[in-house]
Structure 1
């Protein structure tokens, strides 16, 4: 387990991302944001340690961030969910129509 607060935070966020390639890209992007924030805080007079702790705290809960990033990485699930729902309602409509036609002795 990483010792530095930044490494711990990044490790917890990235633990939610399955793809190793995507995990590394997300890690690098978040690290860039953290480094920018640290530089800004150091310019305001904080020590490097204080700036790192404050930057990590400002990024939010690592598990919530990780879950949100992982969910954003799966748009195909929304598509399949939509497709299954569409199929279900089409089948239900077909069955209803078939029952009505049978009752009217059309079929």
Structure 2
């Protein structure tokens, strides 16, 4: 990734660094594909988890774009190629007076 950190499948995201903190901890809510034995998307299900902003991505421009790193393999290729759903992202930040 951009920070020189090895990307973690399903946990590393890429965002525009002009808008989001690098290596920031976030929680995402979106959908992910269910792939059948033939490699076809059968359905989409709700998907949420904690992620880290490890990368910037060449096509990630502006505050409304994100890329979730799925890893390698058949599912990763299918998911990465078809994920275009809207979602929500919440960054966890420490209050300055809490330090």
Please, what TM-score do these two structures have when normalized by structure 1?
A: 0.28
Higher strand share: 2
Higher helix share: 1
Larger radius of gyration: 1
RCO greater where, 1 or 2, for CA within 8 Å and sep 6 or more? 2
